[in-house]
Amino acid sequence: MDPLTAEEKDEKDLRETEGRLEEVLKLLTQRRTRETAQAQLTELRERRDEHASNGQPVAHIHGGHHAPTTMRTKASLDLGESLKENLVFQRYARELETSLRSLSERRVAVLERMYARGPQP
């Protein structure tokens, strides 16, 4: 396999950095915190346990649409989403602003390198 060129490395780094920036910005704009996410996780684990054998029909909202399912399945789906969110928090500094600053600085550094390699007027 051919090693990546400097341009390809920067493009890859930029995609990864911008993806992480989007994750942090999403948490910040939704005003989510580790504490609220952890509290929700605890609550949803309890709900999953309470409804482990509950086959009552309910609707699960996904992408703005209602999916017919059962309460036990909905409880598991909700718990899964909460676990995903908590995993995102684990990837970043306790203060999201710290991660946001670091990622934005990294993005600028990559873009500066890409700009410097580009055609000059």
Please write the tens of the pLDDT for every residue from 1-34.
678 898 999 999 999 999 999 999 999 999 999 9
**Maximum C-alpha span of the chain:** 68
Choose among 86, 111, 120: nearest CA to 7: 111
What is the reported pTM? 0.79
Query: If you write DSSP's letter for every residue of 87-111 in order, what string do you get?
Result: HHHHTS-SSHHHHHHHHHHHHHHHH
pLDDT(120) > 90? no
Residue 101 amino acid letter: R
- Mean pLDDT, rounded, of the chain: 93
Give the torsion through C-alpha atoms of 100, 102, 103, 109, to 10 deg. Answer: 140
Please write the tens of the pLDDT for every residue from 32-89.
999 999 999 999 999 999 999 999 999 998 888 899 999 999 999 999 999 999 999 9
